[in-house]
Structures are given as C-alpha cells and as structure tokens.
Amino acid sequence: MDYTLLFIQTLNGVQLGLLLFLVASGLTLVFGILDFVNLAHGSIYMLGAFICASLTFMTGNFLLAVLIALPITGLVGYLIERFVARNLYDRDHLDHVLATFGLILVLDTSAHLIWGPEGIAVPLPAWLDGRVTLFGDVVVPTYRLLIIGTGLAIAAGLFWLVNYTRLGMLIRAGASNRTMVSALGVDIQTLFALVFALGAMMAGLAGMLISPITEASISMGGEIIITAFVVIIVGGIGSMKGAFVAAIVIGLIDTLGRSFLDDLFKLFMSSDAAETSAPAVSAMLIYIIMAVILALRPQGLFPPKVR
C-alpha cells in the first residue's frame, strides 16, 4: 500500500468532514432546536460562496471578503427566519419541506439572475496558493491545511459556545423543552432568530471555504444538503458532538472509499469487475451507514440529553 497516498487522502477526508460539519452544525441547530426542516440550508451555503466570490474581486483580498461575507450571510439567515420560518413553526414538517423547497427555487433563481448561470472561480492570495512539505514525500496544499485548522477552530468555538455560555445554556434548554424556556421569560423569538442566523453563517462559511477549490456554482447547494442531513441523522439530531463525529467519519469513509475500495475489491474479484463496482459502492457507503444507524440506533450515535 502507498502510505503517502493514504495519509494525503486521510487529510482530504478530514477536510471534507470539517466542511460537512460546518454545514451540518447549522442544520442540526435549526432542526434540533427549532424543529424546523430547512431544505434551503444548502442554498445559503451557495449564497455564501457567491457573496464571498464577489467581495473577493471587489476587495482583492479573499480573507477580508470572508470576514465581510459572514455577517451578510447571517443577515440572510435572519431574514429567512423572520419572514418564512417564523410563520411555520407550528405547522407540520411537510409544510416546512414545501416552503423551503420553494425558497430553494427563489434563492437559486436569484443567484442565477445576479451572478449568471456559470460558476465563479475564486482566486487565492499567493501565500495560500502553494504547497507545504509535512514530512518525507507528503506534500499538501497550504489552503487545505487552512481549511482543516479553521474547521477545528470553529468546532472548538461552537463547543465552548454551546456548553459554557449563557446563550449555549438557552440553546440546550430550547432543544430539550422550548415551552419551558419560553415560560421562564426568555424571548424565544429572538433566540430562534439568533440560532437561525448562526446556522446560516456556518453554512455560508463552508461555501466560502470550498469555493476556491471547486468554484461558486448554483448547483453546489443541492449537492451538499443531502449529505448534511445524513450527518445529523447519523450523529443525532440536535447534537453538536454527534454532528462533528459523524461528519469526520463520513468524510473519511467517502474519501477513502473512492480512493481504495477498488483495490480491496480486487482481492476477491477481477480487476474489471472491481473497477466497475467500486465507484457505485463507494457512492452508496454513507447511505448504507445511515441505514444501519437508523436500524440499530435510530436516535443517532450521540443524541442530545433530554430531561
């Protein structure tokens, strides 16, 4: 086995997992606390990428563009909560799905009108557009290391916010019993708006970070949202710890499966059959894992504590 390739693909899997965590963390906050199914979360991820791309060309500085785009994306999330989600909290999940599916069409069409049908490639500053030699023959892009570092820092920040701050206490209490929190005098509408805006910022940040690697495109939201739902189902709806662990596991399985599954299959089948079947099986792996978790532990790996 090529251990250099294995290490590099493992880093790629961790990077993918951390990006999935950024999207899934916002989704699990909204779904787990507000009990609101937001299919348009992927479109916010897309808007974050496009807003950052435009600001990068305006300012000439990618990192400055990210800092400016974050509160803008949070404002988008607040407006969605204020004018769409807030009117649907007392409705069933089918109404949430229908409303947010319509919102996907609105946001995608708006992006098409503003930025056009083609994607936007986001340039990186020279100091990020290079490679770093870690050890031996292991050479990785500098920007991928920045993504991993940023993802870990955000994960630590969210852990601190949820577990050691007053806002986090209210978030955890709201996840357990929103009626009691409201009865204790907490402005539940403001709390919900803050949670929705925070979730939008996390999704937008993930879109901003991935856009220099892929590009900002209208289809990117639809590609990420299903995987993000898989992450929160596997980890446990409403659990930040579960979202983190599940995102890393799914990122590793998806990346390593696409890289090495054909070699594994060649041990007990022909090369042609292995190369034909491995891509199909690797694409299904995360859904197979979700099905197993739902069968054996339907509440997820790390469900939030409910008293």
| pLDDT tens track for 109-140 | 999 999 998 889 898 888 888 888 877 778 88
Sign (positive/negative) of CA torsion 34, 39, 43, 48? positive
What's the helix, strand, coil split of the chain in %, to 5?
A: 75, 5, 20
Residue 174 confidence (pLDDT) above 70 = no
**Strand, coil or helix: 160:** helix
Task: Give the dihedral of Cα atoms 125, 204, 252, 4; nearest 10 deg.
Answer: 0
Range of 100-114, 189-203, 277-291 with top mean pLDDT: 100-114
Query: Of all residues in the chain, what percent carry a pLDDT higher than 90?
Result: 47
pLDDT of residue 162: 81
The residue with greater pLDDT, 41 or 138, is 41
What does residue 135 show for φ and ψ, rounded to 5 degrees?
Answer: -165, 150
d(CA 145, CA 190): 36
**pTM score, two decimals?**
0.90
What does residue 119 show for φ and ψ, rounded to 5 degrees?
Answer: -75, 165
Query: Of all residues in the chain, what percent carry a pLDDT higher than 70?
Result: 96
Residue 307 confidence (pLDDT) above 60 = no
Convert the pLDDT of each residue in 193-237 to its tens digit.
888 999 999 999 999 999 999 889 998 988 899 999 999 999 988
d(CA 240, CA 261): 30
Least confident of 102-111, 173-182, 264-273, 291-300: 173-182
Q: Which tokens sit at 110?
A: 């708006």
Least confident of 12-26, 37-51, 262-276: 262-276
Mean pLDDT of the chain: 87
Residue 76 confidence (pLDDT) above 70 = yes
pLDDT of residue 102: 94
d(CA 213, CA 148): 14
Q: Which tokens sit at 179?
A: 């009626």
**Strand, coil or helix: 126:** coil
Sign (positive/negative) of CA torsion 157, 153, 156, 179? positive
pLDDT of residue 106: 94
pLDDT of residue 57: 93
Strands 138-141 and 131-135: antiparallel
The residue with greater pLDDT, 179 or 141, is 141
Residue 1 confidence (pLDDT) above 60 = no
Least confident of 79-83, 130-134, 186-190: 186-190
**Once rounded to an integer, what is the mean pLDDT over residues 83-101?**
90
**E strands present in the chain:** 131-135, 138-141
d(CA 231, CA 225): 10
Q: How confident is the model at residue 54 (pLDDT cuts 50, 70, 90)?
A: very high
Residue 176 confidence (pLDDT) above 90 = no
Q: Which tokens sit at 223?
A: 């590609």
CB atoms inside a 10 Å sphere around CB 91: 12
For 228-285, the DSSP string reads HHHHHHHH-TT-HHHHHHHHHHHHHHHHHHHHHHHHHHTTTS-HHHHHHHHHHHHHHH
The residue with greater pLDDT, 125 or 249, is 249
